Amino acid sequence: MSNNDKNPENIHSATTPEECEKMEQKYGWKLKDIRFNKEQEILKVDCVFEGKQTSFEDSRYDD
């Protein structure tokens, strides 16, 4: 599924599907799908949530 205006997706990688469920609870996001990524050794799943893409980027250094 593409990340477009009609069905925006918020995707974050995680180590296990259980971590996707924890993110859903912690941030109040609705989990749509869990995609397994066999090419990654540590972050083995992509958690796909409904809504606009968000970031965990550290903003402490923003002016």
Question: Which pLDDT belongs to residue 59?
Answer: 62
Is residue 2 domain-resident?
no
Segments forming the whole domain that contains residue 16? 9-43
Question: Which pLDDT belongs to residue 6?
Answer: 84
Is residue 35 domain-resident?
yes
Question: Which pLDDT belongs to residue 60?
Answer: 61
Question: Which pLDDT belongs to residue 63?
Answer: 55
Please state the domain count of the chain: 1
Residues 20-44: b if buried by 16+ CB within 10 A, e if exposed: beebeeeeebebbebeeeeeeeeeb
Question: Which pLDDT belongs to residue 48?
Answer: 98
Tokens of 30: 């609705």
Is residue 50 domain-resident?
no
pLDDT in tens, 1-60: 445 578 899 999 999 999 999 999 999 999 999 999 999 999 999 999 999 999 877 666
Question: Which pLDDT belongs to residue 1?
Answer: 45
Is residue 13 domain-resident?
yes
